[in-house]
C-alpha cells in the first residue's frame, strides 16, 4: 500500500511574523505548519489571548497545525524539572486550543556525554511527561537531536522501549543523525521505523552542514520511499535550517550552529521545498 504524505513546515524560517509565514505557505500550497516562532515569540510562551489570535490567523488563511514545535526537553538534565513540567502543561493547553494532538519534544542535554550517569533521571522525566500527555490525550514526538540523551538511534530506541507508551512516538530527523555521526539508512531507520510517525525534512553533510533534502548523507529519498512502501500516513515537515532565523539562539543552547549562516528567508525555504518536491516526484 502506498503511503500518503502531507506537507508541513517550520514557517518561522520564512519570517518571524505570522501573516508573512501564512501568505508564503499558501503560495506553495502548504496547508499545515509546525508552530515554533510566533511573531517573534516561542510557541511555548504564548498566552491564551495570543493563542486565540494565532487561531484567528490560521482560520483566515486556511492553515492548520501538524504538531507543536515546542522546546520541551531542550534543557540540561541537571536543570530543575518541575518548572519545565509547567512549560509542558502550558504547551499542551496550546496544542489543544490549536487542534493538534502532537507536540515535538526532546530528551534533555547531557553534560560531558555522561549518558549512563543520567540515564535513570532521563527515563524518570520522560515517563512523567508522557504520563501527563496521555492524561490529556496528547502524543509527544521525541526528536533525535545532537547533545541530548536521544541523539543516536540506539538511545532513541531505549527511551521509546523504556517508556513503552503509545503517547510517546518518534520524529525522524535525518540531518540531526548525520550531525551525530549516526548513519540514517538503513541503520537508524530500521531501529526506529515502528515508532516513526512524523518526519522532519532536512539533510546534512559529513561536517554537519545542513543542505536541502537529497544533497547530503541523510538518505532522505530512501527513507521516504520506504515510508511510502510501508503505508505511512503522516507529515513531512520542512525544517530547512539553511540560514539563521529569530529564535534559533533560544533553541540552540549548547551549540553555535547558525552563527556563520546568512539569514533564513522565504527564498531558502523555497529551496528546501523544491528539493523535497523533487524527491516526491521520484517516489510517488
List pLDDT tens digits, range 202-223. 999 999 999 999 999 999 999 9
Query: What is the model's pLDDT at position 242?
Result: 85
The whole-angstrom separation of Cα 140 and Cα 193 is 16
Nearest-10 Cα torsion for 142, 100, 42, 11: 90
Please determine, for residue 245, whether its predicted confidence score (pLDDT) is greater than 80.
no
- Other CB atoms within a 10 A radius of the CB of residue 281 amount to 8
By percentage, how much of the chain surpasses pLDDT 70?
92
The whole-angstrom separation of Cα 200 and Cα 101 is 17
**Cell representation of residue 201:** 525534512
Where residue 2 falls among pLDDT bands split at 50, 70, 90?
low
Query: What is the model's pLDDT at position 1?
Result: 45
Average pLDDT over the chain, rounded to an integer? 93
Please determine, for residue 249, whether its predicted confidence score (pLDDT) is greater than 70.
no
Where residue 243 falls among pLDDT bands split at 50, 70, 90?
low
Say which residue the cell 538503513 belongs to.
186
Query: What is the model's pLDDT at position 120?
Result: 98
Say which residue the cell 543520567 belongs to.
118
Please determine, for residue 258, whether its predicted confidence score (pLDDT) is greater than 90.
no
Please determine, for residue 97, whether its predicted confidence score (pLDDT) is greater than 60.
yes
Residue ranges of domains in the chain, CATH in brackets? 4-283 (3.20.20.150)
Name the residue among 182, 172, 274 with its Cα closest to residue 232.
172
Burial class (CB in 10 A: 0-12, 13-18, 19+), 208: middle
The whole-angstrom separation of Cα 29 and Cα 107 is 33
Is the pTM value of this prediction over 0.75? yes
How is 245-265 classified by DSSP, letter by letter? -TTHHHH-TT--TTTTSPBP-
DSSP alpha helix (H) spans, the chain: 18-28, 48-61, 82-98, 115-135, 153-163, 174-179, 189-192, 220-229, 248-251, 266-283
Please determine, for residue 116, whether its predicted confidence score (pLDDT) is greater than 60.
yes
* Lowest mean pLDDT segment, chosen from 37-41, 128-132, 160-164, 250-254: 250-254
Where residue 264 falls among pLDDT bands split at 50, 70, 90?
confident
Where residue 241 falls among pLDDT bands split at 50, 70, 90?
confident
According to DSSP, the residues that pair with 148 across neighbouring strands are: 109
Task: Give every CB contact of residue 34 below 8 A, 6+ residues apart in sequence.
Answer: 8, 9, 10, 11, 65, 66, 67, 68, 69, 104, 237, 239
Amino acid at each position: 500500500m502506498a503511503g500518503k504524505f502531507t506537507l508541513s513546515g517550520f514557517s518561522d524560517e520564512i519570517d518571524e511574523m505570522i501573516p508573512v509565514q501564512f501568505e508564503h505557505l499558501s503560495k506553495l500550497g502548504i496547508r499545515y505548519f509546525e508552530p515554533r516562532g510566533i511573531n517573534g515569540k516561542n510557541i511555548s510562551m504564548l498566552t491564551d489571548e495570543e493563542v486565540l489570535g494565532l487561531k484567528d490567523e490560521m482560520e483566515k488563511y486556511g492553515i492548520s497545525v501538524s504538531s507543536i514545535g515546542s522546546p520541551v526537553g531542550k534543557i540540561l538534565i541537571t536543570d530543575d524539572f518541575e518548572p519545565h513540567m509547567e512549560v509542558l502543561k502550558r504547551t499542551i493547553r496550546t496544542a489543544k486550543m490549536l487542534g493538534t494532538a502532537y507536540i515535538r519534544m526532546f530528551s534533555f542535554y547531557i553534560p560531558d556525554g555522561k549518558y549512563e550517569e543520567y540515564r535513570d533521571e532521563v527515563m524518570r522525566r520522560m515517563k512523567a511527561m508522557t504520563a501527563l500527555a496521555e492524561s490529556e490525550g496528547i502524543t509527544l514526538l521525541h526528536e533525535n537531536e545532537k547533545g541530548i540523551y536521544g541523539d543516536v538511534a540506539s538511545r532513541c530506541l531505549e527511551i521509546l522501549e523504556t517508556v513503552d507508551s503509545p503517547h510517546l512516538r518518534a520524529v525522524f530527523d535525518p540531518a540531526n543523525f548525520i550531525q551525530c555521526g549516526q548513519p540514517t539508512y538503513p541503520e537508524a531507520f530500521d531501529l526506529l521505523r515502528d515508532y516513526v510517525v512524523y518526519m522532519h525534512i532536512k539533510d546534512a553533510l559529513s561536517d554537519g552542514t545542513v543542505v536541502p533534502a537529497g544533497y547530503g548523507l541523510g538518505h532522505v529519498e530512501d527513507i521516504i520511499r520506504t515510508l511510502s512502501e510501508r503505508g505511512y500516513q503522516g507529515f513531512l515537515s520542512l525544517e530547512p535550517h539553511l540560514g539563521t532565523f529569530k529564535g534559533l539562539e533560544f533553541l540552540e543552547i549548547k551549540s553555535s550552529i547558525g552563527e556563520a549562516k546568512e539569514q533564513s528567508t522565504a527564498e531558502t525555504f523555497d529551496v528546501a521545498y523544491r528539493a523535497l518536491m523533487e524527491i516526491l516526484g521520484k517516489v510517488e
